[in-house]
């Protein structure tokens, strides 16, 4: 695996130091879009959490970190690999 668990944590939470290239900037912009959509479904709980949604990202990580090892790539109907959480 290219990145360690700690690297993934920092990237998802937005606390990584990888911000000096276009890939990192594009990734963080995509996270703003994704977490903005998540925020929109949660109501007032994160009303004051504006981009880059630091509180939401940290809380998401804390809730999901135990499931990260369960991620595995599975092909969808078109043959593209998607990540799927298999949780009990």
Q: Per residue, what are the HEC states of 26-76?
A: HHHHHHHHHHHHHHHHCHHHHCCCCCCCHHHHHHHHHHHHHHHHHCEEEEC
pLDDT given at position 1: 47
Residue 35: which residues within 8 A CB-CB, separation 6 or more? 51, 52, 53, 56, 57, 60
Domain chopping of the chain, boundaries: 5-84
Look at 13 and 67; give whichever has higher pLDDT.
13
Residue showing tokens 């998401």:
60
| CA quadruple 64, 66, 68, 2: dihedral, nearest 10 | 120
pLDDT(17) > 50:
yes
- pTM check: above 0.85: no
Q: What is the pLDDT of residues 27-76, one digit of tens each?
A: 889 999 999 999 999 988 899 988 889 999 999 999 888 877 666 555 56
Tokens matching residue 7: 């690297």
């Amino acid at each position: 695996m290219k990145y360690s668990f700690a690297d993934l944590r920092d990237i998802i939470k937005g606390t990584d130091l990888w911000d000096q290239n276009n890939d990192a900037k594009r990734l963080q912009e995509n996270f703003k879009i994704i977490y903005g959509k998540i925020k929109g479904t949660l109501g007032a709980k994160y009303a004051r959490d504006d981009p880059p949604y630091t509180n939401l990202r940290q809380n998401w990580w804390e809730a999901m970190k135990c499931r990260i090892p369960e991620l595995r790539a599975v092909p969808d109907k078109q043959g593209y690999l998607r990540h799927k959480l298999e949780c009990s």
